[in-house]
A and B are shown apart, each in its own frame.
Chain A
């Protein structure tokens, strides 16, 4: 673990100041994909496994994500080995742990795997043209902050913020909702085990605070991305 000063890099997540303020010190920072991210105080497997059963919010903004859309987007992604959801507003987990969410008939959102912090997508983003005929990449890494809500009270927390029915029997793993959450446009994905929430990066600080506020009655706490990584792996 390093201090924030040691870990701080040119790339910064929209929320790192909030994490810094909350930690009260500069300990427990570590690099991830060129960003400084807050590490867990206790990264033991037992602690992380226990934490999965608690209401938690993680900042995954350091992980890779990319949008692709256009009439030829589906063919392009398939050609590059992605399995695509059959209908809009569905998400499909890829064998490597990354996720492809279909946001419309011709728009896709690629979310990097927690296991490798999205290396596959980082690689593709650097290799792919920003656009070509019928295929346009969208800079989701910079437009959208990425949070993960986990624990047993996910649907109860979301019910305080969003008018979409997100009970487990209705909003099943693989479902996607593009809706208003706490009056902010958001993409909500049931990733199985946790919900992914993607919101405008400029709204990230606002959104983080309203999420924690909604989680308060369930003893919800922030949880480091590295600990979530480990917990989901185990």
Chain B
């Protein structure tokens, strides 16, 4: 256990003195738990740095062979540090900040993290070659069913807490002139240059501090330059009013027109940038040798991050393996921080800057040139590197027999750099590789996208800084802002990539892809199976498909494939980079979901009455209200409500019905063309049924046309269909150019239907300005008057088959209308009724509901609505198709059917059979208390006539025979609705 003194602001046994540790606050101690043991770190530590400070480097087990793994990049670029939190698997320990009481464990082990019984799988690696999944478990036929559960049990990382509740995540748009991705020296200077010229700049940095490589890397032997540049540039950026800085933020993709998702905390910003400068830097690359995955083997930049960011001394004795001069500088950093550097192993004949050799000598650091680490040696359990086997490089990828064994507990490696090219390639940029110089370059960038710094192949600090200014200049020019006139940067000042840092070992375990445990031979074997294309190698071997998405495996894979297929890396290319750049949660993608719902003005009254609500389109409607005994039983409530309407009076909210105002000199002509009936002669003050067909002759909606004036129709439509009807009307009149105004006034009116034999009595108590007598206001007539103080359109309708009035008022009066009617009807026992009862009542009357009793093929003749089609008028939408359809032999017909009470009740969708043939399906079916039987509507063969039988297959597969009934089932003379 670590027991560091939080008040010690300087060095502790494992912490380095300031200025090391720029990310941590040594005044704030934070205790965490890992694998059941307590560790103490500081605020600003990550899980991995806090554990490393206490000497714990084994953090995880690899995916396939369960090999021990520790920090590799300390930048969240690899899968080595994936750990489990109580409610979240696969957390990157090297970037996840600690908090008091955080409890983490390892994952993907059998036994304990330190003693994983599944590690023995590594011994069978020869028998699990790449692609063996595809070939091993599918033969003989049916074998997969046996293997699948076993493989599923072993596969996968981490555990998901199924009881976890979602956190609040949201999204926001963000608009800016220029977005700069990355705040290293190029990004900082690009942001400053652009801001100075007047541009609004968003600077996005993945880590908690600005500066990028300036915060950890060394750019000169003296080690002063980086911190000096960093301080100056960061101070200037932070003080600049035109620069908005996002820290701990990741730009996770590039989409057309610089649409850039940036994830910060629990929010995804959808950034719209006029110009985008990608200064994303470069990934330090590993060397491929045996056991290059042991804990304690890490990228040189990772060791520098541990020291500079977290003040953690990454080991006692180090060996540095390098393919460029930056390894020398890393060795100097380690030496300065008290790590004994046992050797610097340079794969090249010597450094580009020869003075570095002298500097090493001054610090008594042994130098091996044209050498490599052939194998990292570990302790018995491979929990930590304990030494290295160094060999002279005899030729490309091969080593001499003589070995030098050195003890160490830290092996830092850097083979070169791979540009962080993902965003640029998502934008269509082309990544090219110069095989001779081992350099990358990006080209084919779209307009308004620029690259700067090491992603652009530049690694000299001065060049990188200038390149930032140059990219900003280009962006400013595009914005039309004044430009400082910087010139393009020349070729890279030095080579940073060692051309072949790959050393096969007879005992293998030289890992190309750490995520997937892929070794050199796995990649080579994939090419021998005929997968010559690097994309196919990826899919066959799964290289680059793990969490690190090829950040460290893409380049060695390309090199190996090129070599195995006698091509150049430029010819093979690298695998495609697709969004997201880094792992993102579904919560981020979902954000704060918006799910609009609509409520009629009297919604609160329904809630207060305890209604069971149901969705109808995006509306909430009462399905039914509590029955007399207070229960919310669908059947009982529906039947009670239906009986109430048949015997007394009830009130239903129909505000969700669509309402469209058609006004103007051509209003009647317009209505006449849109709907199937004739409307030219519809009298003012009358309503008329209005069905609508599409050009295919299919009935798509219906409602009631109310003529309020010669030039004014108010047309209702179905709740979910009004949007389509309105759009269709606008679309047609764009062609017809009739002189009408079409307005969707659905929300402008609240409406109720007061129905039942006592409805007139209720209405007479509160209605003024209208004679409600049957003679003065007969069935299908319309008047305008007042209910209380509310101006009201009063229509005699018959949907439920009883005396009823549809009352439409401006929505501001909706709740008032409800209150007035409920109060007036109280002494007559008025009750509200819901959609379920209304559906039963209309079924008794044989009225179809468009969308329920019709489908995408139903034409008027099929559903018994030929009466609603005017044959004398020259045109309506769908007329020609209706004529054609009805001239052909009918294939089906909607019929009413009846079953005795107590029969098995068909459900909507149940099939209607004629012997073995399906002739149709049930569209509506319910028990009717009034009729004391089960009634329904169904499509059946057209030759069915009243009195014949149809066979319906019901739940469980049994069949019932129902009698076909002439519609309606109830009050065939319509005497009740016309009273």
Contacts and interface: CB of A to CB of B under 8 A. Distances in A.
Interface of A: 10-14, 17, 35, 69-70, 130-131, 133, 136, 138-139, 141-144, 156, 159-163, 165, 167, 170, 182-184, 200-203, 205-207, 210, 213-214
Nearest to B269: A159
B812 A160 contact: no
30 contacts: A10-B790, A10-B813, A10-B816, A11-B816, A69-B741, A130-B663, A131-B663, A133-B665, A136-B663, A141-B810, A141-B812, A142-B748, A142-B749, A142-B811, A143-B745, A143-B747, A144-B747, A159-B172, A159-B173, A160-B170, A160-B171, A160-B173, A163-B173, A165-B173, A182-B596, A202-B619, A202-B747, A202-B811, A205-B599, A206-B597
A182 B812 contact: no
Contacts of A159: 172-175
Contact of A131 (B172, B664, B814): B664
A12 B809 CA distance: 12
Given A17-B604, A138-B745, A206-B596, 12 more contacts: A11-B813, A139-B748, A142-B811, A143-B747, A159-B173, A160-B172, A200-B747, A201-B601, A202-B598, A202-B600, A202-B811, A206-B598
Q: Is the interface of B mostly helix, strand, loop or mixed?
A: mixed
Please provide the 7 A-B residue pairs with the shortest distance between their CB atoms, ordered closest to farther: A202-B598, A142-B748, A136-B741, A165-B175, A10-B816, A183-B594, A139-B748
A12 B816 contact: yes
Contacts of B116: none
Contacts of A141: 810, 812
Contacts of A201: 601, 747-748, 811
A73 B594 CA distance: 36
Contacts of A156: 172
Interface string B593-620: 0111111110110000000000000010
A81 to B, nearest CB: 23
Contacts of B171: 160
B788 interface: yes
B274 to A, nearest CB: 11
B904 to A, nearest CB: 40
B743 interface: yes
Interface in B655-698: 663-665
Contacts of A163: 173, 270
Interface of B: 170-175, 270, 272, 592, 594-601, 603-604, 619, 663-665, 711-712, 741, 743, 745-749, 788-790, 810-816
A201 B814 CA distance: 12
B173 A162 contact: yes
A9 to B, nearest CB: 8
A165 B170 CA distance: 18
Contacts, number: 104
Contacts of A133: 665
B596 A139 contact: no
Given A12-B816, A17-B604, A160-B171, A136 B598 contact: no
B487 to A, nearest CB: 32
Nearest to A131: B663
Nearest to A158: B173
A153 B36 CA distance: 45
A167 B315 CA distance: 51
B567 to A, nearest CB: 46
Contact of A202 (B599, B665, B743): B599
A143 B170 contact: no
Given A133-B665, A213-B592, A13 B604 contact: no
A129 to B, nearest CB: 11
B722 to A, nearest CB: 12
B810 A142 contact: yes
B812 A13 contact: yes
Contacts of A202: 598-600, 619, 746-747, 811
Contacts of B741: 69-70, 131, 136
Contacts of B747: 142-144, 200-202
A214 B172 CA distance: 10
A203 B598 contact: yes
Given A14-B601, A69-B741, A202-B619, A143 B748 contact: yes
Residue with the highest number of chain B CB atoms closer than 10 Å, among A10, A35, A131, A203: A10
Nearest to B812: A11
B316 to A, nearest CB: 47
A159 B172 CA distance: 5
A136 B175 CA distance: 38
A214 B789 CA distance: 38
Contacts of A142: 745, 747-749, 810-812
A191 B598 CA distance: 27
Contacts of B619: 202
Contacts of A13: 812
A136 B748 contact: no
Contacts of A165: 173, 175, 272
Contacts of A170: 175
A131 B666 CA distance: 13
Contacts of A130: 663, 712
A197 to B, nearest CB: 14
Nearest to A61: B812
Given A138-B743, A202-B600, A131 B712 contact: yes
Nearest to B267: A160
A182 B594 contact: yes
Residue with the highest number of chain B CB atoms closer than 10 Å, among A131, A138, A163, A183: A131
Nearest to B174: A159
